[in-house]
Amino acid sequence: MATAAAGGRRRRVLFFPLPYQGHINPMFQLAGLLHARGFSITVFHVRFNAPDASAHPAYDFVSVPDDGMPADSPDTVQATMDHIVSVNRACEAPFRERLAALLERQRARAEDVACLVADSHLLTLLGVARGLGVPTLALRLGSAACFRCLTAFPMLCDKGYLPVQESSQLDAPVVELPPYRIGDLPASSAAAHGQLREVLSRVVTAVTTSSGLILDTFDALEADELAALRRDLAVPVFDVGPLHKLSPAASSSLLRQDRGCLDWLDGQPPASVLYVSFGSLASVSASDLVETAWGIANSGRPFLWVLRPGLVRGAPPSSISLPDGFDAATRGRGVVVSWAPQEEVLAHPAVGGFWTHCGWNSTLEGVCAGVPMLCRPFFADQMGNARYVDHVWRTGVTIDGELQRGKVEAAISTLMGAGEPGAGMRRRALELKNSAAASIGEAGSSSVNVDMLVSLIQSM
């Protein structure tokens, strides 16, 4: 196995994550993987959603001032784009100052800086590093299919797919990018379309101007999409996922996990529980919360439901009220928590289904656990991820359109029922789980790619 040792020098890899839970976790998993190979690690971060340095005592941390950034987590496409732009703008000068100081200190030590690994949304900061002579690698936290979509975004606009003009267009196929429909593409309002196009263009530029693209996926899951990226991109592509299975890194959760739910799961029959979680950023309306609650109640299934602070738009973040009568209707067969140790929950034998927003981390964790998924995507890449779950891998079902309790109940019954099509979804989900395990085994595709990545970093 390739390691960091070279000529007696210890190489240091720098990291800069985008400050959202779904971006911080995989970045730290990659850092843990490289640290296990002998690299020293320095993590640059902003004060917003700052990681817990005490959870990673072997790493060095450098705080970069983020003056001028919004104080709240974004929950819409527009707010997310504004936040990403503000991170790049606010951090450019202070990051340059702190990186230059670090490089000066390293010159006096018996180790040197190999490269910066930064989130692909941080184009400005990747440029700062290269300007100071530090090679860069872009970590793209999404599927290979989604990145192909980003590279094709100008074509999609030129051909009239985007911006979407009428809701009747949403089911129309994108013939150049099967299996996508127009409604599966990352999109925004017509007014914000120009900004979205610019943000996505910057992501592609961040990749094509770096020394390589790192993806948290694996070959058996996206073989055709990865082959297309390697054909079309002028930089090497390293699919090193699933990182959460491959890495020894400690948890980087920004929210306190309620581990008591694992004890409750211990008392439930195998594959009986529906696990419900909409991730760390997505939000729902008060009416959707009511329909979700009664759909779960009417299904009759045991459930573990994550109601994250701030999940319901317009409601006080510290308290979420479930509809009157819900507790009585579900007493004895459900648990509600504010946050859960998701990887452990999905791996628990009692969990038989996963209702997810289809963020890439959650989608990949569901795949690796072999759990069929009930998909309710909200924005960004989530619609495309759901399309792959239910139409390509066929390991789940999507609830489209207006959320109604009857549709929810029927979808849960389909997903977790004893007969078809639920049995087929479970069978295919188990096949993907086995493929994921093989990818990180000895001579597996992801293990080979990690060796190649380590060799590239060592040569920088």
- What does the buried/exposed string (b/e) look like for 186-209 if buried means 16 or more CB atoms within 10 Å of the residue's CB? bbbeeebeebbbebbebbbebbee
Torsion angle (degrees, nearest 10) of CA 42, 450, 360, 136: 50
For residue 46, the cross-strand partners are 64
Phi-psi region of 335 (alpha: psi -120 to 50; beta: other; left: phi over 0): beta
Catalytically annotated residues: 23, 119
Cβ–Cβ under 8 Å, residues 357 and 376: yes
Residues 74 and 80: beta-carbon distance below 8 Å: yes
Burial class (CB in 10 A: 0-12, 13-18, 19+), 154: middle
| Beta carbons within 8 Å of 181's beta carbon, 6+ residues apart | 170, 171, 172, 173, 174, 387
Is the bond into 179 cis (omega within 30 degrees of 0)? yes
Task: List strand residue ranges (DSSP E) for 163-203, in order.
Answer: none
Residue 358 dihedral angles phi and psi, to the nearest 5°? 70, 30
Distance CA 352, CA 414 (A): 12
CA distances in angstroms from 72 to 76, 206, 291, 315, listed in the order given: 12, 26, 27, 15
Q: Does residue 365 sit in helix, strand or coil?
A: helix
| DSSP structure class, residue 269 | P
Q: What is the rounded distance in angstroms from the CA atom of residue 278 to the CA atom of residue 353?
A: 14
Tokens 């299996």, residue located: 179
Separation of alpha carbons 412 and 373, rounded Å: 10
What is the amino acid identity at position 456? L
What's the token pair of residue 199? Answer: 């943000």
Tokens 């936290």: give the residue: 141
Taking residue 184's Cβ as centre, other Cβ atoms within 10 Å add up to 26
Question: DSSP letters along 302-347, please?
Answer: -EEEE--TT-BTTS-TT--PPPTTHHHHHTTSEEEES---HHHHHH
| C-alpha radius of gyration, the chain, whole number | 22
